[in-house]
């Protein structure tokens, strides 16, 4: 369990660990914001695209085999990133890093579902969800120190060092389990899924720079939608589809993924705008910025594992609703704290937002995979992560756009502390951005109220993986 959690930590860590390094990368390569933005976007979009493909590959060919291959690809790509000689080379190597990272989360959640009985699964998934929730925040702390001491290349040397430890653990304790299903891999379905998700997520993540109604954004998004329509057709007629669409008829799968999409949008959007605010409005250095994020990291470390225990006691549906509501209140409080241009006024909002976002992750994932049969567990476990990262692409673009509307286009985080008038404009923009995050979470609460209780007192839905499935107790609408 610790080994797969370590691999998943690396996957999520590498999403935001380069955020603080972007200004230094831009300076070294003499590039613009749009170019360096692909250092983040390329990694995020690639792994979101490949998550269901990697999950299905694990179902068919063995999860340990796919997981180890993913770690080795991440190590190679990270070394190449650290040695990158141009911005284009760095973007290409980050995309390769995303290929390896896509194998981590589906394997981790599948192992947790198989190794733990339903009554203990909430705690196990709470720990894994805690890793996913903590990693983006911890990454900012680590990156602030690494960039300040060793420059931006040191950020990429961090992954191989940790990966070697994880690989040793894999060799010692991970055992390959025979695949529960044998059949051909749906290559056409995988290709159509990739051709659909990549342009759609690219359009979402770049909309703040291209313009939401720009022809480029609309055309790229429509290409993605067209290929996803072909993917749905393919999966309906395929004898052995990559994604069994009947999973989406389960309310456990459907509503939990909608909730996860909106929580991911608020989480990644908030984590994107916070470093910009701390740098330009409060004048924090990279090291001080990492310290400013610490309350969120501490809340994630506490709330994520705790949510697993709370699910058992109060019910998975109750926990997710309270968690999303807490995050919503926290976003509003954080926004008005930012408007006051005072870190102390922001701390209550940071705590509430951190607790809420962290506590929502475990019940969403637990609900999403609860009814998935073991033969489809890998692909089912990938769906919450695809939803989360797709939401992250939307949230980062949306909150970034709202914040940017308050400032001249020439202002970047690399400018440091802004003039008083611009600081006031940025503070107002930050308030509006965080209110947009609160609006996303408000819709998330609506979806959360449609999530059935799968763990805790009164739960009526049996888990498929345990072999205790009760056909007439399924959560179908």
Average pLDDT of span 8-34? 73
The model's confidence at residue 463, banded by pLDDT at 50, 70 and 90, is: low
Least confident of 29-38, 93-102, 328-337, 394-403: 29-38
> What is the Cα–Cα distance from 226 to 297, expressed in whole angstroms?
39
Counting every residue written for the chain, the total comes to 477
Closest C-alpha to 161, from 81, 78, 104: 78
Average pLDDT of span 294-298? 82
Half-sphere exposure of 16 (CA within 13 A, CB side): 29
107 Cβ neighbours under 8 A, 6+ residues apart: 4, 7, 54, 58, 63, 64, 66, 67, 70, 378
| CA distances (Å), origin 329, targets 144, 288, 317, 435 | 28, 26, 19, 10
pLDDT digits (tens, 9 = 90+) for 151-166: 888 888 988 888 888 8
pLDDT of 473 reads 38
Percent of the chain with pLDDT over 90: 21
pLDDT reading at 108 higher than 80: no
466 Cβ neighbours under 8 A, 6+ residues apart: 117, 118
The model's confidence at residue 441, banded by pLDDT at 50, 70 and 90, is: very high
Average pLDDT of span 402-415? 74
pLDDT of 459 reads 65
Least confident of 166-170, 372-376, 422-426: 372-376
Half-sphere exposure of 269 (CA within 13 A, CB side): 38
pLDDT of 466 reads 44
Decide which of 114 and 10 is more confident.
Answer: 10
pLDDT of 438 reads 96
pLDDT reading at 425 higher than 70: yes
Average pLDDT of span 104-121? 68
Least confident of 120-129, 279-288, 321-330: 120-129
pLDDT of 331 reads 96
Half-sphere exposure of 189 (CA within 13 A, CB side): 23
pLDDT of 193 reads 86
Average pLDDT of span 203-218? 83
pLDDT of 409 reads 66
For residue 266, the SS3 value is helix
The model's confidence at residue 316, banded by pLDDT at 50, 70 and 90, is: confident
The arrangement of secondary structure in 2-176+242-473, i.e. its CATH architecture, is Up-down Bundle (1.20)
> What is the Cα–Cα distance from 447 to 47, expressed in whole angstroms?
25
pLDDT of 337 reads 94
pLDDT of 73 reads 92
pLDDT reading at 461 higher than 70: no
Return the number of other C-beta atoms located less than 10 Å from residue 458's C-beta: 7
89 Cβ neighbours under 8 A, 6+ residues apart: 80
Beta bridge partners of 476: 250
Highest mean pLDDT among 179-183, 192-196, 302-306: 192-196
Decide which of 248 and 429 is more confident.
Answer: 429
Return the number of other C-beta atoms located less than 10 Å from residue 142's C-beta: 19
Highest mean pLDDT among 29-33, 86-90, 320-324: 320-324
359 and 323 in contact (C-beta within 8 Å)?
Answer: yes
pLDDT of 476 reads 40
pLDDT reading at 118 higher than 80: no
Domain residue limits, the chain: 2-176+242-473, 186-241
> What is the Cα–Cα distance from 464 to 470, expressed in whole angstroms?
8
pLDDT reading at 391 higher than 90: no
Return the number of other C-beta atoms located less than 10 Å from residue 27's C-beta: 12
Average pLDDT of span 206-220? 85
Least confident of 170-179, 234-243, 339-348, 363-372: 170-179
Return the number of other C-beta atoms located less than 10 Å from residue 184's C-beta: 9
Least confident of 8-17, 190-199, 303-312, 446-455: 8-17
């Amino acid at each position: 369990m610790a080994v797969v959690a370590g691999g998943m930590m690396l996957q999520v860590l590498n999403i935001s660990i380069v955020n603080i390094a972007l200004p230094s990368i831009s300076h070294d390569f003499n590039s613009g914001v749009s170019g360096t933005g692909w250092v983040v976007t390329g990694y995020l979009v690639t792994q979101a695209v490949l998550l269901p493909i990697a999950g299905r590959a694990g179902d068919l060919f063995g999860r340990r085999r796919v997981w180890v291959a993913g770690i080795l690809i991440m190590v190679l790509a990270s070394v190449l990133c650290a040695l990158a000689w141009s911005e284009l080379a760095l973007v290409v190597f980050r995309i390769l890093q995303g290929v390896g990272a896509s194998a981590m989360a589906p394997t981790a959640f599948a192992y947790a579902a198989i190794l733990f009985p339903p009554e203990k699964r909430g705690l196990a998934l709470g720990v894994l969800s805690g890793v996913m929730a903590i990693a983006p925040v911890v990454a900012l702390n680590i990156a602030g120190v690494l960039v300040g001491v060793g420059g931006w290349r040191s950020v990429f040397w961090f992954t191989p060092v940790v990966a070697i430890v994880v690989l040793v653990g894999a060799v010692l304790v991970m055992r390959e389990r025979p695949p529960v299903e044998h059949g051909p891999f749906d290559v056409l379905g995988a290709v159509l899924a990739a051709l659909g998700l990549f342009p759609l997520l690219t359009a979402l993540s770049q909309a703040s720079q291209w313009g939401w109604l720009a022809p480029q954004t609309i055309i790229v998004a429509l290409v993605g939608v067209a290929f996803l329509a072909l993917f749905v057709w393919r999966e309906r007629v395929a004898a052995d589809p990559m994604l069994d669409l009947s999973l989406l008829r389960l309310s456990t799968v459907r509503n939990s993924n909608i909730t996860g999409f909106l929580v991911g949008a608020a989480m990644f959007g908030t984590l994107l705008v916070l470093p910009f605010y701390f740098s330009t409005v409060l004048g924090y250095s990279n090291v001080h910025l990492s310290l400013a994020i610490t309350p969120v990291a501490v809340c994630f470390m506490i709330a994520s594992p705790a949510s697993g225990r709370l699910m058992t006691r109060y019910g998975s549906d109750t926990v997710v609703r309270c968690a999303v509501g807490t995050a919503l209140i926290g976003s509003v409080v954080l926004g008005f704290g930012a408007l006051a241009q005072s870190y102390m006024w922001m701390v209550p909002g940071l705590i509430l937002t951190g607790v809420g976002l962290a506590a929502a992750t475990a019940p969403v994932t637990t609900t999403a995979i609860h009814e998935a049969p073991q033969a489809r567990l890998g692909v089912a476990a990938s769906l919450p992560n695809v939803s989360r990262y797709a939401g992250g692409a939307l949230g980062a673009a949306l909150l970034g756009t709202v914040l940017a509307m308050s400032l001249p286009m020439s202002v970047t985080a690399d400018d440091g502390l802004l003039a008083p008038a611009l600081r006031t404009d940025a503070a107002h923009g930050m308030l509006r951005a965080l209110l947009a995050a609160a609006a996303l979470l408000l819709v998330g609460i609506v979806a959360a109220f449609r999530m059935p209780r799968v763990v805790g007192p009164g739960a009526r839905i049996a888990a498929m993986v345990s072999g205790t499935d009760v056909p007439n107790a399924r959560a179908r609408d």
